[in-house]
Amino acid sequence: MKIEQKDYTLELLDDHSGASLSGVLRLASPAAYEQAFEPLRKALPLGPAEGYTLDIAKLTFMNSSGITGISRLVLLARQLNKPFVFVVNDAIPWQRKTLASLQKLYPKLSIRAGV
Amino acid sequence: MTSGLRLTFAFEVGPVAQTPREISGALGDALQSLLTTTHSEAFGTKTNVAVTELVTNVLEHAGEGTGTVRCEVALEANTLRIRVQGDASEEQCTEVLQRVDTLSTATDPKALLRSTLKERHAKRLKGGVGLLRLRAENGFSVRAERIAQQLAITVEYAEGGAQ
């Protein structure tokens, strides 16, 4: 499933094993992120036990409401005891900085370079 | 990078209630383009993050929405200072002043960011991590002051300097 918005695209794999987020995520409020990430929250429990992979390597910007939204996904993965993998782009500094904080919230969160 | 070059920029828009929320991102992007032509890439990206977060905060919380949001950016001698000012209620001022005091005095801002994310998730609270992110992930110092019926937030980043 592919959800294309003006500034960003969310593409979910049919087998529920992962998704990719690309573009710029600068939604105005946490409530807007709840809505935007709803497909991810629904997919997370349905996928394989090996884990869920979210590729953000082409996501160039995300505001703090988005970080809150992402952290909620990570905490949901923790609740489900499902490993969570972020694929990042090391040329975009905020990605590793932000995710390193989240990694301490959930030890089964891993980060790998995708570009 | 041309570290000897001074640059100042001021922007004011209002009334807040009629201002499109997208303006914060557009302003952040424009300033990033401007600053990366005169200074380092890091200054550009940090300015984008800070302006986007701070202007969004004012647009979301600026009292009745009849006032303006004012944003000033100054770059001098490798120090970047961004100040954003707008209307705020007494209650908002008190809350933000307390929050800024907590994050300014935190010995481990990254740990504070993590615990805040966890706490706000548990209590289903919205937002509240923008200023923390500026401090913990971008190395800004943060201060807040009440001026009459307004709240001003100033963030400062020194390239190569201690924060």
| pLDDT tens-digit readout, B55-70 | 998 888 876 788 999 9
CB contact (8 A) between residue B126 and residue A29: yes
Task: Give residue B125's pLDDT band: very low, low, confident or very high (50, 70, 90).
Answer: low
Q: Is the peptide bond before A45 cis (omega within 30 degrees of 0)?
A: no
pLDDT of residue A28: 78
Stretch among A85-89, B26-30, B134-138, B158-162 having the lowest mean pLDDT: B158-162
Question: Averaged over B43-54, what is the pLDDT?
Answer: 92
Residues of B in contact with A71 (CB under 8 A): 117-118, 121
Cβ contact A18:A51 at 8 Å: no
Tell whether the model's pLDDT for residue A104 goes beyond 60: yes
Tell whether the model's pLDDT for residue B162 goes beyond 50: no
pLDDT digits (tens, 9 = 90+) for A49-94: 999 999 999 999 999 889 889 998 999 999 999 999 999 999 988 8
Q: Is A9 helix (H, G, I), strand (E, B) or coil?
A: strand
**Which residue of A61, A64, A104 is in closest CB contact with B133?**
A64
Tell whether the model's pLDDT for residue B161 goes beyond 60: no
Q: Name residues 6-25 of chain B within 8 A of A (Cβ).
A: 21-22, 24-25
Task: Give residue B146's pLDDT band: very low, low, confident or very high (50, 70, 90).
Answer: very high
Residues of B in contact with A61 (CB under 8 A): 25, 48, 52
ipTM: 0.76
CB pairs under 8 A between A and B: 67
Question: Averaged over B90-105, what is the pLDDT?
Answer: 91
The pTM of the full predicted model, rounded to 2 decimals, is: 0.85
Cβ contact A88:A56 at 8 Å: yes
* Residue B153 in contact with partner chain A when CB distance is under 8 A: no
**Which residue of B24, B60, B117 is in closest CB contact with A71?**
B117
Residues of A in contact with B117 (CB under 8 A): 67-68, 71, 101-102, 105
Report phi then psi at B153, rounded to 5.
Answer: -115, 130
Task: Give residue B3's pLDDT band: very low, low, confident or very high (50, 70, 90).
Answer: low
CB contact (8 A) between residue A101 and residue B118: no
Report phi then psi at A59, rounded to 5.
Answer: -100, 105
pLDDT of residue B145: 95
DSSP A41: H
Q: For A104, which residue in chain B has the nearest alpha carbon?
A: B114
